[in-house]
Structure 1
Amino acid sequence: MPREDIAFQTSDNVTLRGWFYLPEASSTTPLPCVVMSHGFTAVKEMYLDKYAATITSSLPISCLVYDHRGFGASDALPSAPRLEIITSLQCSDLSDAITYAQSREDVNKEKIGIWGVAFSGGHCIKVGAVDRRVKAVLSQVPMVNGWENFHRLTPPHLVAGAEGKAAMTIPVSPLNPKATPAVQGIDAHEFFFGLGKGTEWKNEVTIKTMEEFRSYNPWVHIHRISPTPLPMAIAENDTLMPTDLALTAYSKALEPKELQLLPGGHFGGYGAHFENVVKCQVEFLKKTLYT
């Protein structure tokens, strides 16, 4: 698929960089656009290119893919550390990405969708609830309840680190099995070190990020997404973004909504279940943005 390197400014003048995908066949009219961003610490080269290429090869639709501030190819504020996730800023940046998409002459300004996975799946829930420019909200294995999620996964001494002790960083998924990770599990390790190899992904994240994780609860906004349609893909055995938390959030969403249950764990959408996940997303986009 045709792919253009792009850059745009956020409301606080940070440059975010990414790609803009178009279908192979040229169009004389502006096309719908899906704005896509990745999950916890991941960069756009870690399968977002495959999602965007598949969507644009299946429908006359465009995709805008970008790296979060401080990650991958995107900048951070001069005074801010890289490799730090401030959820309010990432949500604001998502709205700025929508603004950039709408500024393009090849984009239909009235047909903007947002797509997010894991952490950014939560961002899509929050932004989709408050930004009425969004006409479709695609949320895949989302983080919905930071407090519950954090305390199920995080060792007590790391909780103390997030409560005001000296600032430090920790590995996202450590090579040393005795180290404390931000994300636990062999499947997470295989994802980050497999798909992250040869990219700008870094195996590091700030402790401030973990504090933000704990206080982030996008599920409280989910009932406000309606009447914008919401398809949510949830893994049946997700231990990183627990299945029961995601299902509880989904139950609070109002119609129109669609639930796709994926066999296996959190990372299945990047491998064994990619084809099924993206097929359902294409069908949803065909019904909502394309028609």
Structure 2
Amino acid sequence: MRTNSSFISEGVRCDAWGFNPGSSGRVPMIVMGHGLGATKSMRLSAYAERFVAAGYACLAFDYRHFGASEGLPRQLLSVKRQLADWHAAIAYARSLPGVDPDRIVAWGTSFGGGHALSMAEQDRRLAAAIAQCPFTDGVASAMAVDPITSARVTIAAVRDRLRAVRGAKPIYLPNAAEPGTPSFMNAPDALPGMSAIAADAPDFDNRLTARSAFDVMLYGPGRHAKDIGCPVYVALCDPDTVAPNKTAARQLAKSPLAEVHTYPVGHFDIYLGQHFETAVADYITFINKHVPVRP
């Protein structure tokens, strides 16, 4: 079912996995990207296997600077570059034999869920999108962190940005850590949650360059919800300690094309067990409605 693949994004090779349902004729393809500092090996295959069983092809990829993709320095999060990687992944998907280029679905989770919303706004050819526990507003997420920890992260980000100007080695902060630790996520469920979804991901590196904090804080894909141009299924988690769901719900209410559903689980719970099974079944129902395997 799974094949190794890659595509070029602004001259950088991005590693990808292709999943083929083995159907005759051209089928829809779901392009899949993960969240903050995460890689495709962190359970994207579990979702792809369900989609393939329903007749859809899938392409899961790693952003540049992460996982098996190229890009230096490692663990650098650039929103501009990640959005370019999404556009390149979708263009690559449209070029593949056996794929219907007009029936491409963007699927993203957490920070990648925010990117899926951005694709739904920017790519008018996209057939549909699915955003799982999406990051929609960097300011809202920053306000969920205690001020002292936030200040320490900001100081590290400034120092790292200055080091980058001099060509020095990056300063790294943990991606997920215990509460009170200067990091990108330090809610009580962040470290155990990331550890759970990374259990079978040997390439996961629990760090980000400190300067990445500026991109995270300034990113607000939910602010453009009114410009979404295709049907979007949004799976919010409540309570969500990482991507504030109330802010997301308020922003997405401005889009007549956004179908918003709230699941009574935490941000990391939706990836696992029965919560995963429930959500992925809902996603398949949604894409069967808007992007059927046989048009």
Contact 2:194 2:268 in 1 (8 A): no
**Equivalent of 1:30, from 26, 50, 61?**
26
The change in CA–CA distance for 1:258 and 1:178 in structure 2 (over 3 A counts) is: closer
Q: TM-score, normalised by structure 1?
A: 0.91
Contact 1:141 1:246 in 2 (8 A): no
- For structure 2, the residue ranges without an aligned partner over 5 or more in a row are 164-170
**Equivalent of 2:227, from 224, 229, 232?**
224
1:171 aligns with 2:171: no
Separation in structure 1 between the aligned mates of residue 141 and residue 184 of structure 2, nearest angstrom: 12
1:211 aligns with 2:214: yes
State the 1:178 CA deviation.
6.5
Spell out, residue by residue over 1:81-126, the C-alpha distance to the aligned partner (whole angstroms, 9 max, x if none).
1101101110111010011001111110110010001101111111
State the 1:148 CA deviation.
2.1
**Equivalent of 2:106, from 111, 114, 130?**
114
Q: Which residue is 1:19 aligned to?
A: 17
State the 1:203 CA deviation.
1.3
Separation in structure 2 between the aligned mates of residue 8 and residue 190 of structure 1, nearest angstrom: 33
**Equivalent of 2:122, from 130, 138, 145?**
130
State the 1:75 CA deviation.
0.7
**Identity rate of aligned residues, in percent?**
29
Spell out, residue by residue over 1:237-267, the C-alpha distance to the aligned partner (whole angstroms, 9 max, x if none).
01110111111121122x2331211112111
Coordinate RMSD, CA, aligned: 1.7
- For structure 1, the residue ranges without an aligned partner over 5 or more in a row are none
Structure 1 counterpart of 2:287, which letter?
Answer: L
Q: Which residue is 2:166 aligned to?
A: none
Q: Which residue is 2:91 aligned to?
A: 99
Structure 1 counterpart of 2:223, which letter?
Answer: V
Partner SS, residue 219 of structure 1:
helix
State the 1:179 CA deviation.
3.8
Q: Which residue is 2:75 aligned to?
A: 83
Spell out, residue by residue over 1:158-203, the C-alpha distance to the aligned partner (whole angstroms, 9 max, x if none).
223334665521111247x774222113422122223324520101
Q: Which residue is 1:157 aligned to?
A: 152
Q: Which residue is 1:53 aligned to?
A: 49
Structure 2 counterpart of 1:21, which letter?
Answer: F
1:56-75, aligned counterparts within 5 Å?
56-57=52-53, 59-75=54-70
Partner SS, residue 18 of structure 1:
strand
1:188 aligns with 2:190: yes
Structure 1 counterpart of 2:183, which letter?
Answer: P
Separation in structure 1 between the aligned mates of residue 158 and residue 182 of structure 2, nearest angstrom: 17
Q: TM-score, normalised by structure 2?
A: 0.90
Paired residues in the alignment total: 280
